[in-house]
Structure 1
């Protein structure tokens, strides 16, 4: 997989932006091809009603690229009958219903996405990257890069859900190391949340705005398998005291007794990881837990989930300068030393594995490894403006979705930032989701 140049795109000239975009588009497509390098039966089968068949994701990636970059940006005519657009409209067709659609077969799907990509790279070579909001610093191309990588992570989740032998391989993630104190104090006061300067930031990350956050403590690392196992062994799944009322009902209906893909073998546990049964690694962040499970654990531990603003302040605030950083470690974009991203490993790394990625306050692994549930519901920031289309985020605003932050081992650097906001239903756990805890200071603590 191609590496990503470690440059802030705001500092690049147009030709450098073109080179960067071309490299990002190629890297995303290499990953898409890896995830769809399966036989036609695997490609067209629906492995879970929660997920699309891989062949739908593949052609949807090409369709969105064509709609935005060839038709909208370049003004070209459709490559296929426009009825195809309806087949790959995510809002018109629920995931559970997509196998019933007259989808493109595998060979035409591959041909279609290749045809679109060839024409897009030709457009990228020639079109001015200014003069229209969609083109400033290549925004539309960057949006499509992120869209493809987001679907690649979705397809990676489909691979985790599928039955049968392993189809993907990657080296084991590094083990953890000592991180010092279990929690750190984040001092109270204002910080700048969101962004006005990230050229490829999506609408729900904007605008930048001051948020005054009272002092709080946050876990130095995500909650680990070993820590979560103590919750299970203490009867946490059987005690309604720890559960949100709706979460307790869901736990009973769904029969939840442990994170998804965990398996008990007498007194020991294993985890199903992309078609392999592996011993549970106590030092790894727990993954595949829903919001209700995360919230119940936090209550059992005498803590709580952080708010979205608390999470972002812990990730970005530098108390020495009072400045809000782009990433926990500074302004440089993620590298292999900073975070576990990009499907480099097919699992979270042990806590403390990336000391170069810790925040100014000493918080580890805020980017990569596992998406982290927050206590916040999903909504727009003050002054929010839907752009370039309402369906990206505005239609999801409300109390039904909880915000996740930070990305996972399956997220690409292009599609995760300290300002990036993910969201999902609180019952979802097929995603690569974990969490860390926070707490407010006690009355006897002077902070």
Structure 2
């Protein structure tokens, strides 16, 4: 009888076992769905309302949500890197220690609007929450044209209003001629006005949005005159600057005490 060498047989069996083991591991790995951690946006604390095919944040971006963004991304704003953001005192002046965290150089409340952020920083914050900045056309449509099917008393669907608050600017916070609100800036911090109020602490205006007029200017992505259009005016100005005909633009790299922003998202049916 011919003798067989058992070693090659055993070697082949071992190789087969090893190959089978790695095939099973590969199959198991492929059966699991890939991680979606990087594609799922973090939830914002700001309530939204649908206007047409767009979900709008009802208030301006808050310090609370920027804190969430900053912790997750190790974000340091340009104003912080520069030693402070800007205010206007016969010209733009840098204020040491003024930033989105401390808009007037002192600790701020989480529900204050986030200011001292340039347009690219604002876009990054919105993107983190799965949103974006509006265009000027989107902003003006939401601010001045009532689009709710069941608009509350005082508003009529399809009507274009002179102010983001409706027929008058009284729901808003501005320098004078608006509602009875007092800003949060410490005494002596500003040479004009009282600063912003908490986001959402005024009254709702057209389409149920807060502070589309007054409080702080809001960035849009629409370019104009070498900068980006800002809308809605702020506590620095009277109600006349809240109107649709008032088109202001600022350099995209400016970070100033009276410019904030609001995020929007395309609704699922529009994607």
**TM-score with structure 2 length normalisation?**
0.63
Confirm whether residue 183 of structure 1 aligns to residue 48 of structure 2: yes
Contact 1:316 1:359 in 2 (8 A): no
What corresponds to 1:296 in structure 2? Answer: 124
SS of equivalent to 1:327: coil
In structure 1, distance between residues paired with 2:50 and 2:131: 14
Is 2:233 the partner of 1:233?
A: no
Tell whether 2:59 aligns with 1:221: yes
**Does structure 1 conserve the Cα–Cα contact (< 8 Å) formed by 2:60 and 2:260?**
yes
Q: CA shift at 1:270, angstroms?
A: 5.9
CA deviation profile, 1:65-124 (whole Å, cap 9, x unmatched): xxxxxxxxxxxxxxxxxxxxxxxxxxxxxxxxxxxxxxxxxxxxxxxxxxxxxxxxxxxx
Q: Is 1:218–1:437's contact at 8 Å kept on the other side of the alignment?
A: yes
Q: Which residue matches 2:3? A: none
Offset, 1:328 = 2.4
Counterparts of 1:440 and 1:236 in 2: how far apart (Å)?
A: 27
1:422 aligns with 2:248: yes
- Checking the alignment, whether the CA contact within 8 Å between 1:371 and 1:406 is kept in structure 2 is yes
1:376 aligns to 2:211 (yes or no): no
Alignment partner, residue 111 of structure 2? 283
- Contact 2:219 2:228 (8 Å CA) reproduced: yes
Q: 1:188-337 alignment to 2 at 5 Å?
A: 215-235=53-73, 237=75, 255=81, 263=97, 271=102, 273=104, 277-319=105-147, 320-332=156-168, 334-335=169-170
Taking the aligned partners of 2:82 and 2:246, their CA distance within structure 1 comes to 30
User: Shift in Å at residue 434 of structure 1?
Assistant: 0.3
Of 170, 175, 182, 1:342 maps to 175
Mapped partners of 1:298, 1:304: distance in 2: 5
Cα drift, residue 323 of structure 1: 1.4
> Which runs of 5 or more residues in structure 2 are unaligned?
1-44, 87-94, 148-155, 177-181, 184-193
* Structure 1 equivalent of residue 200 of structure 2: 352
- Gap regions ≥5 residues in structure 1: 1-179, 188-214, 239-249, 379-395
How many residues are paired up? 195
| 1:357-378 deviation line (CA, Å, top 9, x unaligned) | x223211111111100001112
Cα distance in 2, alignment partners of residues 414 and 402 from structure 1? 20
SS at match of 1:309: helix
8 Å contact from structure 1 (residues 372, 434) kept in 2: yes
Does the 8 A contact of 1:314 with 1:359 survive in 2?
Answer: no
* Partner residue, 1:84: none
- State the 1:430 CA deviation: 2.7
The higher relative CO (CA closer than 8 Å, separation ≥ 6) is in 2
The RMSD of aligned alpha carbons is 3.1
After TM superposition, give the deviation of residue 416 of structure 1 in Å. 3.0
Distance of aligned partners of 1:368 and 1:310 in 2 relative to their CA distance in 1, 3 Å threshold: same
2:42 alignment counterpart:
none
